[in-house]
């Protein structure tokens, strides 16, 4: 990539500021359900996240099953933040609702389908800087690394946005996993930029029994964290249950990831 110099991704300065999603010497694990289904479901899973000693929880509030007008998922997010002191990550799907969602959460997630939605990226850039939010930018499943880094430029238009890249699998000819997890993206990104990068093994493989080995691999290859779908009753999950770790698997994943993290002298948070 010979236009590296033009890409303003050199943001290591301040990487250990307390409000940044990725902190030096830590592997950040974000865990939670694909979608916020009900108060009971979200609260039960929040307890698992808290018991595991994690700081960040995920949960989609704008899923097709959630009415765009009710904001119920967002209300639950506020309650869980109050009850358990967890920081919250949720996806933003259109420019009009970014500001509203940002009032409730700590981290705005941009999904694979929206990596090239430049109107959304520009709005997120503005809101993230005004409201001091971090942003997770998932890789478009057909995007090259160069296109992904150029999307970061849109997010950086309004200031020094705390952008964290997330590799979540790309589309290949291989059907035995949902997508193909491009683990080489981690060292490539580390070579081209100083942006932090996390891995989403759940959407990449699409099957819970493959999530633990790929989580381990993600840490081994140098990822700064993971975003993982978990559920206390995966069989009853309304969405993506087949890839969600149950509570026993979640603990096992954390145990193994902690072991790998130690190799790099890092702790889990
Ligand atoms: C998600 O994380 O809930 C999600 C939909 O992921 P992706 O955008 O990677 O498909
Ligand atoms: Mn999902």
Name residues contacting ligand 1 (CB within 6 A).
34, 60, 91, 111-112, 138, 168, 200, 203
Q: Which atom of ligand 1 is nearest to the CA of 112?
A: 8
Distance CA 155, CA 151 (A): 7
* 13 CA → ligand 2 middle, Å: 32
Q: How many CB atoms lie within 10 A of CB 142?
A: 11
Structural domains of the chain, ranges and CATH numbers in brackets: 26-268 (3.20.20.70)
Interval 172-186 mean pLDDT: 98
Q: Which atom of ligand 1 is nearest to the CA of 138?
A: 9
Atom 4 of ligand 1, residue of closest alpha carbon:
111
Q: pLDDT-derived band of residue 119, with 50, 70 and 90 as boundaries?
A: very high
Pick the range with the lowest mean pLDDT from 41-50, 71-80, 176-185.
71-80
Atom 6 of ligand 1, residue of closest alpha carbon:
111
pTM, to two decimals: 0.93
Question: Which residue of 56, 111, 167 sits with most ligand 1 atoms within 8 Å of its CB, as the best mutation to test the pocket?
Answer: 111
Interval 205-221 mean pLDDT: 98
First-to-final CA distance of the chain:
33
Atom 8 of ligand 1, residue of closest alpha carbon:
111
pLDDT of residue 72: 74
Measure the CA angle with vertex 27, ends 158 and 207; round to 5°: 100
């Amino acid at each position: 990539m010979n236009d590296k110099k033009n890409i303003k991704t050199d943001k290591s300065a301040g990487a250990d500021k307390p409000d940044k999603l990725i902190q030096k010497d830590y592997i950040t694990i974000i865990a939670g359900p694909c979608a916020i289904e009900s108060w009971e479901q979200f609260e039960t899973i929040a307890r698992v996240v808290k018991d595991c000693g994690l700081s960040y929880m995920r949960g989609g509030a704008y899923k097709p099953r959630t009415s765009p007008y009710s904001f119920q998922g967002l209300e639950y997010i506020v309650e869980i933040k109050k009850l358990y002191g967890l920081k919250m990550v949720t996806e933003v799907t259109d420019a009009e609702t970014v500001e509203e969602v940002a009032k409730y959460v700590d981290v705005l997630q941009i999904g694979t389908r929206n990596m090239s939605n430049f109107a959304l990226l520009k709005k997120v850039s503005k809101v993230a800087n005004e409201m001091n939010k971090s942003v997770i930018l998932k890789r478009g499943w057909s995007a090259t690394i160069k296109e992904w880094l150029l999307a970061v430029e849109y997010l950086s238009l309004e200031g020094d946005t705390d952008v964290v890249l997330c590799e979540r699998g790309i589309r290949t000819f291989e059907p035995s996993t949902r997508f193909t997890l491009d683990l080489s993206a981690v060292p490539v990104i580390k070579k081209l930029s100083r942006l932090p990068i996390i891995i989403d093994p759940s959407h990449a493989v699409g099957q819970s029994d493959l999530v633990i080995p790929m989580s381990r691999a993600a840490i081994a290859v140098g990822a700064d964290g993971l975003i993982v779908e978990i559920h206390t009753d995966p069989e009853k999950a309304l969405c993506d249950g087949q890839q969600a770790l149950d509570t026993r698997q979640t603990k096992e994943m954390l145990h193994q990831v902690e072991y790998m993290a130690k190799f790099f002298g890092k702790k889990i948070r």
